[in-house]
């Protein structure tokens, strides 16, 4: 988690391309400063309300505050308000919230996932939490722990998604997937779901069947409720993907979606060093998405 936070320092501010403006001779798009905050806002994430595309929610790590920031827009991204889902802390070494993820369900309820390590050290245990609110102007709930660590060393890099297909047998089910590292440094990709708006979570299910140094999970949900999870596998130098046809209860064998062709760097694993930030490592961060339209594809 610390390596990821260091790499993210290269991002100076969170910005977003908002709405298309003008005609053929006008500007192609308008850029809006979403965060409008001092200090680095990193790991940006964004979601659109499936009922109303004018309603957006975004999130970021606010490194200087030691907090998770959330940004809301109800006018298609033209203007934004900012707040926090975890309060700023005085001692930045006491805790590390990071890896924000956002999602919105069919009722307009908004979700924000993140992990938090206490204290803020590379070998400290980190856990996955989710907060929720019923509307853009409502207060966030208290953080809910998705899964106890048990004997594991840490949980890391959560991803969140909602089944937003009204015809799905699991409509409005919220999914969180993440990487878990055992005390013996064995990696697993896990997934849990909630059917009560994030108040309680199912027992985690293991997605992968093989591999080592697994991380950067991503979730996509099809119109029929099929769940796809992708992740990186350092032992195979590949992005892997697996799917579930029963709402995340079981997953089939993983398949290689893409392969890496690089020379490993000792302190980077499957990452690379870039000139702008030679002390950090940049790694693949896959995103899986599913065509939600009714077309032939």
What does the pLDDT read at residue 276?
Answer: 78
Scored b (16 or more CB within 10 A) or e, 120-151 reads beeebebbbbbbbbeebeeebbebbebbeeee
Instruction: Tell me yes or no: is domain 1-145 CATH 3.40.630.10.
Output: no
Please count the CA atoms within 13 angstroms of the CA of 27 that sit on its side-chain side.
8
Beta bridge partners of 195: none
Residue spans in the chain of domains classed CATH 2.120.10.10: 1-145
Residues 6+ positions from 252 with CB-CB distance below 8 Å: 242, 243, 244, 245
What does the pLDDT read at residue 51?
Answer: 95
Strand 110-117 versus strand 96-104 pairing type: antiparallel
pLDDT tens digits for the chain (297 residues)?
444 443 333 333 343 333 333 444 445 567 899 999 888 899 999 999 999 999 999 999 998 899 999 999 999 999 999 999 998 888 888 888 999 999 999 999 999 999 999 888 877 899 999 999 999 999 999 999 999 999 999 999 999 999 999 999 999 999 999 999 999 999 999 999 999 999 999 999 999 999 988 999 999 999 999 999 999 998 888 999 999 999 999 999 999 999 876 666 676 766 778 787 777 777 778 899 998 777 777
DSSP string for residues in 218-277: EEEE-TT--EEEEEEETTTTEEEEEEESSTTS-----EEEEE-----BTTTBT-EEETTE
Please count the CA atoms within 13 angstroms of the CA of 138 that sit on its side-chain side.
12
Q: Beta-carbon neighbour count of residue 104 at 10 Å?
A: 21
Q: Beta-carbon neighbour count of residue 25 at 10 Å?
A: 5
CA 132 to chain centre: 15
Cβ–Cβ under 8 Å, residues 41 and 53: no
The DSSP output letter for 8 is: H
pTM for this predicted structure: 0.87
Cβ–Cβ under 8 Å, residues 265 and 271: yes
119 cis-preceded (ω within 30 degrees of 0): yes
- What is the rounded CA–CA span in Å between residue 271 and residue 222? 30
Cβ–Cβ under 8 Å, residues 243 and 227: yes
């Amino acid at each position: 988690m610390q390596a990821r936070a260091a790499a993210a320092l290269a991002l100076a501010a969170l910005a977003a391309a908002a709405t298309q403006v003008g005609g053929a001779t006008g500007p192609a798009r308008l850029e809006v400063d979403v965060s409008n905050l001092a200090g680095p806002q990193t790991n940006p994430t964004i979601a659109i309300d499936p009922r109303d595309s004018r309603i957006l929610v975004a999130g970021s790590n606010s490194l200087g505050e030691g907090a998770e920031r959330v940004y809301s827009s109800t006018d298609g991204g033209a203007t934004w308000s900012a707040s926090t889902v975890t309060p700023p802390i005085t001692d930045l070494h006491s805790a590390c919230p990071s890896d924000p993820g956002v999602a919105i369900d069919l009722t307009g309820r908004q979700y924000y996932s993140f992990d938090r390590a206490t204290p803020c050290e590379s070998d400290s245990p980190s856990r996955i939490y989710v907060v929720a609110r019923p509307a853009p102007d409502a207060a966030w709930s208290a953080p809910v722990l998705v899964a106890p660590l048990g004997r594991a060393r840490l949980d890391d890099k959560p991803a969140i998604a909602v089944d937003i297909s009204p015809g799905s047998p699991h409509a409005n089910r919220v999914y969180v997937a993440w990487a878990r590292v055992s005390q013996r440094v064995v990696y697993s990709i896990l997934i849990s779901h909630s059917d009560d708006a994030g108040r309680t979570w199912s027992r985690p299910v293991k997605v992968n069947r093989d591999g080592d140094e697994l991380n950067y999970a991503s979730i996509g949900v099809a119109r029929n409720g099929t769940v796809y999870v992708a992740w990186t596998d350092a032992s195979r130098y590949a992005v892997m993907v697996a799917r579930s046809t029963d709402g995340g209860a079981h997953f089939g064998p993983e398949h290689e979606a893409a392969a890496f062709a690089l020379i490993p760097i000792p302190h980077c694993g499957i990452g690379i060093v870039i000139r702008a930030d030679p002390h950090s490592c940049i790694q693949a961060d896959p995103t899986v998405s599913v065509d939600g339209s009714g077309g032939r594809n």
